[in-house]
Chain A
Amino acid sequence: MPKLKKLAKLILNKRAISPVLSSLLLTVVAVAAMALATTATYVISTNLRETMSERLVVEDLWFNNSTGNVDLYMHNIGKVAISISSVYFNHTSQPFIPLFLEIGTDGWLNVTLHWTSGSVYYVDIVTARGTHVADYYKASQ
Chain B
Amino acid sequence: MRTTIKLPSRSKRGISNVIVVMLSLVLVVMVVVNVVLWSYQMNQFDWERMHEVIAISGVDRVNNSSWFTSQREFAIEGGTRTNGTYLDTQLIDGNYESFQGMNNSGISIIGDFVVNESVNVRGLEVQMRYKVNDTDAKWYLDIYNWNSSSYTDNNLNSTQGGVSSQNWTYLAVNFTNEWKEYVRDDGTIRVKVLDDGLSVNQTTVDIDFLGVRLMVNATNFNFQNDGPLTSHLVALWIDNSTLHKRYAISVFVSEGEVTSYFRSDISLPNDFCIIKVVTDRGNIAVFSIN
What residues of chain A have their CB less than 8 Å away from a CB belonging to chain B?
A: 19, 22-23, 26-27, 29-31, 34-35, 37-38, 41-42, 45-46, 48-49, 52-53, 55, 57, 59-60, 62, 65-66, 71, 73, 75, 77, 79, 106, 140
In the complex, which residue of chain B has the Cβ closest to the Cβ of A30? B16
With both chains docked as a complex, state the minimum distance between the C-beta of A45 and any C-beta of chain B, in angstroms.
4
Partner of B282, one of A27, A52, A77: A77
Residues of B near A57 (CB, < 8 A) are 278, 282, 284
Which listed residue, B20, B30, B246, touches A60 by the CB 8 Å rule? B246
Picked from B35, B237, B239, B282, the residue with its CB within 8 Å of the CB of A45 is B35
Given A38-B30, A41-B30, A57-B282 in contact, is the A79-B42 Cβ separation under 8 Å?
yes
Contact indicator per residue, chain B 36-48, by CB within 8 Å of chain A (1) or not (0):
0011011001000
Tally B residues with Cβ within 8 Å of A.
Answer: 32
- Contact between A49 and B281, CB atoms less than 8 A apart: no
CA distance A79 to B34 in the complex (A): 13
Indicate if the CB atoms of A23 and B27 lie closer than 8 Å: no
A59 and B237 form a contact (CB under 8 A)? yes
Chain B, residues 11-33, CB within 8 Å of chain A (1/0): the string is 01101100110011011001100
When chains A and B are docked, how far (Å) is the Cα of A35 from the Cα of B24?
Answer: 10
Do the beta carbons of A79 and B27 come within 8 Å of each other? no
CB distance from B45 to the nearest CB of A (A): 7
A27-B15, A30-B20, A59-B237 known; A53+B27 contact, CB < 8 A: no
The answer to whether the Cβ of B72 comes within 8 Å of any Cβ in the partner chain is no
> Which A residues lie within 8 Å of B282 (CB)?
55, 57, 75, 77
- Chain B residue contacts of A79, Cβ below 8 A: 38, 41-42
Partner of B27, one of A26, A37, A71: A37
Does the CB pair B239–A60 fall under 8 Å? Answer: yes
Query: For the complex, what is the distance from the CA of A37 to the CA of B241, rounded to whole Å?
Result: 57
15 contacts between A and B (CB under 8 A): A22-B12, A27-B19, A37-B23, A38-B23, A41-B27, A41-B30, A41-B31, A45-B35, A52-B42, A53-B38, A60-B239, A60-B276, A75-B278, A106-B235, A140-B241
A37 to B15, CA, bound (A): 18
B12 CB, min distance to chain A CBs, angstroms: 5
Question: Closest residue of chain A to B274, judged by CB?
Answer: A60
CB-defined contacts of B241 to chain A, threshold 8 Å = 65, 140
Q: Does B9 contact A (CB under 8 A)?
A: no
Contact flag A49-B34 (CB < 8 Å), given A30-B20, A65-B242: yes
Known: A52-B38, A73-B246. 17 other contacts (CB 8 A): A22-B12, A23-B12, A26-B15, A27-B19, A30-B20, A34-B20, A34-B23, A37-B23, A38-B26, A38-B30, A42-B34, A45-B31, A49-B35, A55-B45, A59-B235, A60-B276, A140-B241
Q: Which residues of A contact B15 (CB under 8 A)?
A: 23, 26-27
Shortest distance between the CB of A55 and any CB in chain B (Å): 6
Expressed in whole angstroms, the Cα–Cα distance for A62 and B238 within the complex equals: 12
Q: Would you give the shortest CB distance from B59 to chain A, in whole angstroms?
A: 17
| C-alpha gap A85/B42 in the complex (Å) | 23
Do A38 and B42 form a contact, CB below 8 Å, given A23-B15, A60-B239, A65-B241?
no
* Distance from A139 Cβ to chain B, minimum over Cβ atoms (Å): 12
B19 touches A31 (CB 8 A): yes
Please give the distance in Å from A118's CB to the nearest CB on chain B: 13
Q: CB-CB < 8 A to B281: which residues of A? A: 77
Instruction: Report A69 CB to chain B, min CB distance, Å.
Output: 13
- In the assembled complex, which residues on chain A have CB atoms less than 8 Å from the CB atom of B34? 42, 45-46, 48-49
User: Within the complex, which residue of A30, A42, A60, A66 is in contact with B237, where a contact is CB–CB below 8 Å?
Assistant: A60
Q: In the docked arrangement, what's the CA distance between A58 and B19, Å?
A: 49
Residues of A within 8 A of B41 (CB): 79
Q: How far is the CA of A1 from the CA of B20 in the complex (A)?
A: 48
The answer to whether B12 and A19 touch across the interface, beta carbons within 8 angstroms, is yes
Question: How far, in angstroms, from A73 to B245 measured CA to CA in the complex?
Answer: 11
Nearest residue, chain A, Cβ from B18: A30
